[in-house]
Each structure stands twice: as structure tokens, then as C-alpha cells.
């Protein structure tokens, strides 16, 4: 279902719902006429709002986008900013149909979040055709700024390469030299397994096997028994959302970790850890691009988000805040929402906000920033419901992410 910022139905969303008050046309000053299409800057948040990734980004990402709009004062260049949203149901065809309508009929200037790599790849490809900007914060595949890069496609918050460097590198260096992968059978899972395999091998480890499971699986028993039988020291969970949570729960039922094998949750965010519970998740190592309890600034943002949603934000939701804010800063700097002008500013402006203070954007569209390796606390060490992580190490952005030369992006000189 397509929604406007107030939770409007599909029909209402076609008309739009402006963040702020008054008429968009009436409030636009003469100087802004013609510089902004439709006299409004319109951003679409397209993600999973009802399925296995609903807690991963979902309504929380929409709320984070609204917060970014508020922090820009509700307007840019004298015209209002509007957020619309829709549930793509993790289906590339549905996502592409929504994106096409947003572009062709509804005047959407840019689409963001795009949880699920197959969806993000499809919408990014359509957006290239339509000459529109996408900023992916929910999907993980490094192909988005690698072999599938486009002039208007951006990747924010994290990617499979950074996750592999963080969790995969740390566990292999700590002695987990043999790996078996339990992999979601679509673009994201493949990319995460491939990127982690490369890191494991680079650190002296080897992969002894892998098995693929369908998206949104319920019974992981046969897959976990294969992993257990492999005798691998580490079972890499190359999945996400409820698939990861269910894998961990069922692994406990089979006594896999009690038998000495270690689970590597290669993409697991605060939302899923909270949902699983600290008792079941304790001791897991994971990599994220942001955490609410890093410093006073992140804690203040977390509390602000908490008051609106009754939850702490994860890296995808705060990454969406950063993406929307960065896009609006680029629109302001360009003095227009015309794609090429905004695109040039997005690639040149530093990323400096609550998500990161040292971010920069490669020509591939990848936003490079520090990542963090965390260990989930023991229940006795937690001081509250959302006090779940212990910081193990900070991974500098230049180490976490592939360089332009390494990316495989055809736009990079010499490719």
C-alpha cells in the first residue's frame, strides 16, 4: 500500500501530503518558481512494511525521514518537502510498478531506503532510465555500487563488503578458520556470502560448504543439520531479519553452539536483537554502521526517535535520516531539484550528521564511513531494555569499504 506521511490511503497519496502547513504553490516565493518541479521536493520511502524486514526499516525509516525533513525546517528553497511511502512486499515487480507511478504520475524526485537487494537493484535500474536519484539504506548488496552501479544510484549506511570485513574478518582472526554458510537464496544472500568468503580466505580461513534457503523461511532444521554436520567452526548466517532470528532460535534447539560451533550473524541489527531477546542473542558478534549509545549526540537522537516510535533506531533507520538530510542539503546547495544538479552536489558534499561525521561519497555512489564491531551483552551486563551492545572495535571507512578501483563499477576510469 502507498502512503503519504500521515498514513493516508493510496488515493490520498496521489494527491500528496505536505509536511508543514499551507499550500505548496501559495507558499513558494517567486524566486523558486520553475526551479523545483511541481513547486515541491518529494521523496519516496519504499521498503518492507509488513513482512520479514518490517522491523529492519519499515515504519521506523519513514519516521526517520520525517525527522530529517523537520530538521531542514520543512522546506528547501522556499518550497515544501513531502515524504510519501509504500510497502513493496519484497517483490521487485511491485516495487518497480510503484516507483514508475511515483516518477511518471506523482512527481517523486528521489526514492530511498529500498530494503531487499533484488528490489533495490530493480528500482535503481529503473531510476537510471528515468534519470532519478535513489539512495539505498536498507538493501545490502555491494553490487549496487559495484557491477550494477549507475550515475544516479547511491548506497548509504552499510553494504555486504563492510559486513564481511567486520564480522567475517574478526571471527576468522579470532580462530574461526572453517566456515559453512546458511544463505538466503536471492541477490543479497549471494553477495554477502561471496564478500564474506573473500574476507575469510584473505585471513587464512576456508569455506567447507554452504546451503541456500528460501526467503522468509520458517523451518531451518534441514539447513542447520547440514551446517552442524559440516563440523565448521563458524556457521555464517548470510540472511537477515526474521530469517536470522529464526535461524538462531532453531540453532539453539539443536544445541549447535553448545557443541562448540559459533554462529556469525552477518546482518543483524538492533531491532532484530531486541526482538530475539538478549538471553538468546548474548555473545553474538555483529557489525553495524551506527548505534544509539555511542556518544551524547547519538543518545539524544535515539531518545528523540524513541519518543515518536517507542523504539530505539537501528542503522537502517538512522541511515535513512542521513540519506534524506544529505539529499535535501544537496537540493539546497544546487538551488533546484533537477537531477544532474543535485547529483553533482551529492557526490561533492561531505556527510556530516548524527549518522557519521566523516562520511564521503565515492564516484560509484557509495557513502564511505566508519563501521563498528559489537558483541551482544550478557543479560547481567545490560542496564536497560535497549542496552544491548558492547563496542569491540571501530573499523575505519577506508578499511570497511571497497575502493573505487576495487568496486567493479563500470563508471570508474579504466573499467
Question: What domains sit in the chain, N to C, each tagged with a CATH number?
Answer: 2-158+295-365 (3.40.50.2300), 161-288+370-397 (3.40.50.2300)
The DSSP annotation for 46-114 comes to EE-SSSTTTTTSHHHHHHHHHHHHHHTTTEETTEEEEEEEEE-TT-HHHHHHHHHHHHHTS---EEEE-
pLDDT computed for residue 217 by the predictor: 82
Local confidence pLDDT in tens for the 415 residues of the chain: 444 433 333 333 333 333 332 333 233 333 334 599 999 999 999 999 999 899 999 999 999 999 999 999 999 999 999 999 999 999 999 999 999 999 999 999 999 999 999 999 999 999 999 999 999 999 999 999 999 999 999 999 999 999 999 999 999 999 999 999 999 998 899 999 999 999 999 999 999 999 999 988 889 999 999 999 999 999 999 999 889 999 999 999 999 989 999 999 999 999 999 999 999 999 999 999 999 999 999 999 999 999 999 999 999 999 999 999 999 999 999 999 999 999 999 999 999 999 999 999 999 999 999 999 999 999 999 999 999 999 999 999 999 999 999 999 999 965 4
Contact 283, 376 (CB under 8 A): yes
pLDDT computed for residue 30 by the predictor: 33
pLDDT computed for residue 32 by the predictor: 39
pLDDT computed for residue 328 by the predictor: 98
**All residues at 6 or more sequence positions from 255 whose CB lies less than 8 Å from its CB, including other chains:** none
Q: Order of strands across the sheet with 234-238?
A: 206-213, 178-184, 234-238, 262-265
**All residues at 6 or more sequence positions from 149 whose CB lies less than 8 Å from its CB, including other chains:** 364, 365, 407, 409, 410, 411
Q: How far apart are CA 311 and CA 47, in angstroms?
A: 18
The set of cell numbers assigned to 178 is: 572453517
The DSSP annotation for 283-334 comes to T-EEEES--TTSSHHHHHHHHHHHHHHSS---HHHHHHHHHHHHHHHHHHHH
pLDDT computed for residue 218 by the predictor: 85
pLDDT computed for residue 414 by the predictor: 55
Residue 1's SS3 state is coil
Amino acid at each position: 500500500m502507498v502512503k503519504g506521511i500521515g498514513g493516508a490511503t493510496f488515493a490520498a497519496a496521489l494527491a500528496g501530503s505536505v509536511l508543514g502547513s499551507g499550500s505548496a504553490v501559495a507558499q513558494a516565493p517567486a524566486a523558486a518558481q520553475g526551479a523545483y518541479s511541481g513547486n515541491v521536493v518529494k521523496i519516496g520511502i519504499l521498503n518492507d512494511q509488513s513482512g520479514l524486514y518490517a522491523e529492519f526499516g519499515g515504519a521506523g525509516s519513514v519516521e526517520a525521514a520525517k525527522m530529517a525533513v523537520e530538521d531542514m525546517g520543512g522546506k528547501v528553497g522556499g518550497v515544501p518537502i513531502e515524504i510519501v511511502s509504500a510497502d513493496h512486499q519484497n517483490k521487485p515487480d511491485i516495487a518497480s510498478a510503484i516507483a514508475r507511478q511515483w516518477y511518471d504520475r506523482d512527481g517523486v524526485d528521489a526514492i530511498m531506503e529500498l530494503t531487499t537487494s533484488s528490489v533495490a537493484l530493480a528500482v535503481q535500474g529503473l531510476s537510471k532510465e528515468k534519470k532519478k536519484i535513489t539512495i539505498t539504506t536498507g538493501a545490502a548488496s555491494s553490487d549496487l555500487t559495484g557491477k550494477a552501479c549507475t550515475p544516479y544510484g547511491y548506497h548509504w549506511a552499510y553494504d555486504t563488503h563492510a559486513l564481511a570485513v567486520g564480522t567475517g574478518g574478526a571471527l576468522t582472526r579470532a580462530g574461526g578458520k572453517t566456515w559453512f554458510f546458511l544463505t538466503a537464496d536471492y541477490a543479497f544472500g549471494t553477495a554477502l556470502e561471496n564478500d564474506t568468503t573473500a574476507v575469510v580466505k584473505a585471513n587464512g580461513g576456508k569455506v567447507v560448504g554452504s546451503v541456500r534457503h528460501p526467503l522468509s523461511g520458517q523451518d531451518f532444521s534441514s539447513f542447520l543439520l547440514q551446517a552442524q554436520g559440516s563440523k565448521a567452526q563458524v556457521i555464517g548466517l548470510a540472511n537477515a531479519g526474521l530469517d536470522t532470528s529464526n535461524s538462531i532460535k532453531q540453532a539453539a534447539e539443536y544445541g549447535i553452539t553448545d557443541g562448540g560451533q559459533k554462529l556469525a550473524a552477518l546482518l543483524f541489527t538492533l531491532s532484530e536483537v531486541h526482538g530475539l531477546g538478549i538471553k538468546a542473542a548474548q555473545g553474538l558478534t555483529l557489525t553495524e554502521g551506527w548505534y544509539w549509545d555511542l556518544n551524547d549526540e547519538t543518545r539524544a537522537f535515539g531518545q528523540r526517535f524513541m519518543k515518536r516510535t517507542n523504539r530505539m533506531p537501528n542503522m537502517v533507520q538512522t541511515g535513512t535520516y542521513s540519506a534524506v538530510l544529505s539529499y535535501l542539503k544537496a537540493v539546497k546547495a544546487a538551488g533546484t531539484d533537477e537531477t544532474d544538479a543535485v547529483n553533482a552536489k551529492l557526490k561533492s558534499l561531505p556527510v556530516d550528521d548524527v549518522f557519521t561525521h566523516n562520511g564521503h561519497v565515492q564516484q560509484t555512489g557509495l557513502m564511505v564511513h566508519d563501521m563498528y564491531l559489537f558483541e551482544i551483552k550478557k543479560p547481567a551486563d545490560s542496564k536497560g531494555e535497549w542496552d544491548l551492545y558492547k563496542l569491540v572495535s571501530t573499523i575505519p571507512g577506508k578499511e570497511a569499504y571497497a575502493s573505487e578501483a576495487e568496486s567493479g563499477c563500470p563508471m570508474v576510469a579504466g573499467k
